Amino acid sequence: MHDGIHVVAGECTTTFDGSRVREHEQRGQVLVVVKPDNTVLVHDADGYQPIAWLTRAETVTIDGTHLVASDGDQRLEVTIHDETASGRYPASAAGTPVGECPDCGDALVRVADAVVCTGCDARFGIPGDAEVLDTDCDCGHPRMGVERGRAFEVCVDRDCESMDEAVTEVFDREWDCPNCEGDLRILRRGGLLAGCEHYPDCDTGFAFPAGVVVGECDCGLPLFETAGGKRCLDATCEAWHTPEQAAPTNS
């Protein structure tokens, strides 16, 4: 991995091996971009698509007039004959501005599943369906709105305020396990789950939907209103998927 974006411009020969579709050797005035995640792009004067690339290479070596990126049996080599310019420049994720970083004062931006700072290493993972709000927490970071059984507002920094703890406080042991006499606990196992307290003797568990509880399914588990419509906590529930219950109503 390299810090920042490394850029080289000049007359170069680019060779790509390891893919019969993309094998080639090309020479010309190009711009070579090496991203922090070891993605290498070689651009010429035409269009938006690079003439050669290797995404998230295992290794990237820059040695004088040679750049070599390798990933398995794929190899991208750039020989620089006449360098016009080169340099290493700061880089960050780019996203929707959502506030100011309380640690360094630079912008906080929302990317797909995180709030990140454009000026320091601050990064806060958030659910993809969360809404970053205009209000700040007392710690200075933005707050987010997320629906997990009900609508919650918590800080994007889990060390400050935990969404899991908020959900647990409301819904832990709220429902019975449908397969034994245990309670469903709120657990974090990759994602947020409602899982039986008697695990591993009872391995019943359900992924917690993004939505709010609006009633009870005929099976006894809660019914959620989600972006895709109503559904049982158990996504495979046959009681909810009968034609009469699944059909939309005009009420």
| pLDDT value of position 18 | 81
Give the span between the Cα atoms of 58 and 68, in whole angstroms.
11
Within 10 angstroms of residue 191's Cβ, the number of other Cβ atoms is: 9
**Residue 168, token pair as written in the block:** 């647990």
Let me know: does 167 contact 158? Beta carbons within 8 Å.
no
Give residue 244's pLDDT: 46
Q: Tell me: the pLDDT tens digits for 53-105? A: 999 999 999 988 999 999 999 999 999 999 999 999 998 889 999 999 999 99
Correct CATH for 5-89 of 3.40.1710.10, 2.60.120.260, 3.40.50.1100, 2.70.180.20: 2.70.180.20
Is the per-residue pLDDT at 249 higher than 60? Answer: no
* pLDDT given at position 23: 80
More confident of the two residues 4 and 153: 153
pLDDT above 90: residue 122:
yes
Map residue 97 onto helix, strand or coil: strand
**Cβ contact 184:202 at 8 Å:** no
- What predicted TM-score, i.e. pTM, was given to this entire model? 0.76
- Tell me which residue of 17, 25, 8 sits closest to 80, measured CA to CA: 8
State residue 241's pLDDT score: 59
**Mean residue pLDDT across the chain:** 91
Residue 247, pLDDT score: 45
Q: What is the structure's pLDDT at 189?
A: 86
| N residues, the chain | 251
**C-alpha dihedral sign at 108, 112, 114, 117:** negative
Above 90 in pLDDT, residue 1? no
CA-based nearest residue to 6, from 33, 45, 46, 40: 33
Give the pLDDT confidence of 175-188 residue by residue, as tens digits: 999 999 899 999 99
Q: Rounded to an integer, what distance in angstroms lies between the CA atom of residue 80 and that of residue 59? A: 19
- pLDDT at residue 24 in the model: 84
Strands (E), 90-176: 96-100, 107-111, 114-117, 123-125, 131-136, 142-149, 151-155
Q: What integer is the mean pLDDT of 198-211?
A: 94
The ranges assigned to domains in the chain are 5-89, 96-160, 169-246
Q: Assess whether pLDDT exceeds 50 at residue 243.
A: no
Determine the average pLDDT of the residues in 35-54.
95
The predicted structure's pLDDT at residue 132: 97
Task: Tell me how far apart the alpha carbons of residues 31 and 53 are, in angstroms, rounded to a whole number.
Answer: 12
Helix (H) or strand (E) holding 108: strand 107-111
- Beta bridge partners, 59, equal 70
